[in-house]
Amino acid sequence: MKYTHLGRSGLLVSRLVLGTMNFGPHTSEEDAHAIMDRALDAGINFFDTANVYGGLEHRGHTEEIVGRWFTKAGRRDEVVLATKVYGPMSPDDKPNYSKLSAVNVRRAVIESLRRLQTDRIDLYQMHHVDRATPWTEIWQSMDRLVTAGDIIYTGSSNFAGWHIAAANEAAAARNSLGLVSEQSLYHLDARTIELEVLPAARHYGLGVIPWSPLGGGLLGGVLKKLDSGRRAEERVLKRVEEKRAQLEEWESFCDELGEAPGDVALAWLLHQDGVTGPIIGPRTMEQLESALRAVEIELDEAALNRLDEIFPGPGGPAPEAYAW
């Protein structure tokens, strides 16, 4: 495994991030524990979860699965643990049980610590921007949690470039460290963040953590899987038909490289300036084992240029490209 600093922080994290969203809804607790064992043994020390993971009727269940693994495995100190706050945690959507008010942030961190059976969260991420809560209130809450030792670093998820700038300028005014990471949708077929989010993250020293790096399976060799008789949801089939010519080029090029499409998609992200590491969300041990190959793949300039031809980016020098 390879490691890098999380943004401008001194924290070293693996270049693949273990996502846990499938633990509970799609992966049994026994299998989830085995996957976490194997991931850590393979050098993946960065685990990502969220308080809402577990399904609509079982919010928090994924954190509980991770917490029971910590107790059973006794390896908490080997893991950089990230979770999130924002989504509604009350089944009947009670007021103040969601978003980033000081009241909800305090309640949410206490509940996450309990479910995760730990004394601290290494990276506490705002799952979305809260337009109704001022940054002064948010940073006061986060600073108190840092002082109390409940969290160590703060990150964001699904923020625009403007949100990153506003958040970190407000933090700087308080002499706070501010955001050290941003978790964004980013893959070969979704490159909008290259316009402003990536430039903002690089400017403020945030490590970028791409989620859905395989585009919901689209970049994981979907054509060959369908040809072999694998079933797919209607929405996936629709996307495949819309992009069939592009996907044929993609999978053919991966064949030329002699690598699995999913591994090349992950490797491409690892070659992008500012990316800390993509989130892999394995449902099975087989999917985890396959993803480990990505950190070893080196893409030369010719390969990167070819991928740009197949999946063109938003174009132009960022962040001014929208106006040029």
What CATH number does the domain located at 3-220+261-323 have? 3.20.20.100
Q: What is the DSSP letter of 151?
A: E
What confidence category does residue 316 fall into, taking pLDDT thresholds of 50, 70 and 90? confident
Supply the residues annotated as catalytic. 53
Give the whole-number percent of the chain exceeding pLDDT 90: 90
If phi > 0 it is left, if psi is from -120 to 50 it is alpha, else beta; for residue 81 that is: beta
Please answer whether residues 1 and 42 qualify as being in contact, where contact means their C-beta atoms are separated by less than 8 angstroms. Answer: yes
Model pTM score: 0.96
* pLDDT tens column, 111-166: 999 999 999 999 999 999 999 999 999 999 999 999 999 999 999 999 999 999 99
Q: Give domain limits for the chain.
A: 3-220+261-323
Average pLDDT over residues 239-266: 97
Average pLDDT over residues 204-211: 98
> b/e per residue, 114-146, with b = 16+ CB within 10 A?
ebbebebbbbbbbbbbbeebebeebbebbbebb
